[in-house]
Structure 1
Amino acid sequence: MADPSMPVRTCVGCRRRAPVTELLRVVVRGGGLTPDPRRRLPGRGASLHPTAECLQAAVRRRAFPRALRSSTPLETGPLEAHVLRQVS
């Protein structure tokens, strides 16, 4: 049974709900998507399963600009590098 005190968020890639401990928080810094594994950076965040599949789905669906309320295109390079390091 799930812990009722654990916050739950929705992955912007696959749209499944999961505890925050299973998701990677992503914020906008300097016009690009920055991973926030410690969940401490300021600003609006989006949650993502740290898998290549969820990242690709989020990019394909253009979910990051919507979730982060950004009107400009966002660079995904640092986030992709972080996710690929985690998967390998």
Structure 2
Amino acid sequence: MVTSAGERFGDPTGAAVEWTEVQHAQPIRTCIGCRKRELAAGLLRIVARKSDTGNGAPAVMIVPDPRRRLPGRGAWLHPVSACLNAAERRRAFGRALRVSGNLDISALEQYLENRHEHS
């Protein structure tokens, strides 16, 4: 015979079951510029896109992916120029995105400039 709700749910003490709200885990990513870990919502995803320079040497463009929908391997960066400069100085783009060759970050620089002007 079951005498309490607690016993019904496997609690032999018969204590009332208290429900708590569960916090869902948020993805944490590392900025390739400053190497700090932060929630992905506070970082900008970047991806590498191959482009032809016209002289036969393929270049790789580093482009922002604010909607986080572009295909391919992504890396994460704080959307500030200090982290962009640090990532460029450390040559982190090639390692994080697993690409080699000439890396063009002009699209990323332009995105950050426009973002800064509008905020």
The normalised TM-score by structure 1 is 0.92
Q: CA deviation at 1:29?
A: 1.0
For 1:11 and 1:58, the matched residues in 2 are separated by 9
Alignment partner of 1:7 out of 27, 32, 40 = 27
Aligned length in residues: 86
- Structure with more contact order per residue of length (Cα contacts < 8 Å, sep ≥ 6): 1
> What is the correspondence of 1:51-66 to structure 2 with a 5 Å cutoff?
51-66=80-95
When Rg is computed on C-alpha atoms for both structures, the one with the higher figure is: 2
2:66 corresponds to 1:34: no
User: What whole-Å deviation, never above 9, does each CA across 1:19-76 have from its counterpart, x for those lacking one?
Assistant: 1100000001122001000000000001000000000000010000000011212100
Q: Report the aligned-residue RMSD.
A: 1.1
Please, what TM-score do these two structures have when normalized by structure 2? 0.69
Corresponding residue for residue 106 of structure 2: 77
Runs of 4+ in 1 over 6 A off after TM superposition: none
The unaligned stretches of length 5 or more in structure 2 are 1-22, 51-59
User: Runs of 5+ in structure 1 lacking a partner?
Assistant: none
